[in-house]
Amino acid sequence: MHMCNKGFIFDLDGVIVDTAKFHYLAWKDLANDLKIPFTEAQNEELKGVSRIESLKKILEWGDLSISESDFHSIMDGKNKKYLSYIATMGEEEILPDVKKTLDFLAAKKQKIALGSASKNARSILEKVSLIDYFQVIVDGNNVTKAKPNPEVFLKAAEEVEASSKDCIVFEDSIAGIQAANTAGMISIGIGDEKILHEADYVFKNFTQISNEFLIELMNK
């Protein structure tokens, strides 16, 4: 039986590594500096929201208005804090069984790509020693349209030379699942089934994904 050329496309944040906590810590530091209380529940509302919109929300919560130039320097400060947190990352930051999944796909000579909005994707993959698994990296430096626009996944498919219907996307956000579905790809949600119910399949994490299931995807 001939296996056609599949492309396995991974989102980064929340799928391969959990950088969300570093965003949370950086926003929390910033809110503390502004004397605005900031909770994990509020942080949930910032998931998948741009840096500009996130800061606007925090200022609203604190009932604070600031000048344009302060706004930009605060945004810049948030990014520097975030980068200082991710600079400390190592292989222990890889989420459970991600490496096992990548090893299996690599052993089966599957095409592996990254499709992430993060501009720091390459440096994060280098820090956690996973960069060599990825033939293709499409990140915030190559795309202009944010998910749920499918641009990032369509670019990744093109670069691994697989048609959309032969691509499998691993995502932890609703916007990412919608982007994969719009692109006509198989969408696999990593996280909470109640939130990610639009995905073709949902797993709590990669420990629930068997090699048999991966083979099934390769033969679809």
* Cβ atoms 209, 97 nearer than 8 A: yes
Structure tokens at 215: 């083979």
Annotated active-site residue 29? The verdict is no
Taking the C-alpha atoms of residue 132 and residue 182, their distance in angstroms, rounded to an integer, is: 29
Nearest to 79 by CA among 26, 13, 25: 26
d(CA 155, CA 138): 7
Show the DSSP H helices in 62-119 as ranges: 68-86, 98-107
Other C-beta atoms closer than 10 Å to the C-beta of 175 total 16
Q: Which of 11, 139, 166, 172 is catalytic?
A: 11
Q: Provide the sign of the torsion angle of the four alpha carbons 131, 157, 6, 179, taken in this order.
A: positive
- Is 139 considered catalytic here? no
Residues 113 and 10: beta-carbon distance below 8 Å: yes
Contact 6, 167 (CB under 8 A): yes
Residues annotated as catalytic are 11, 13
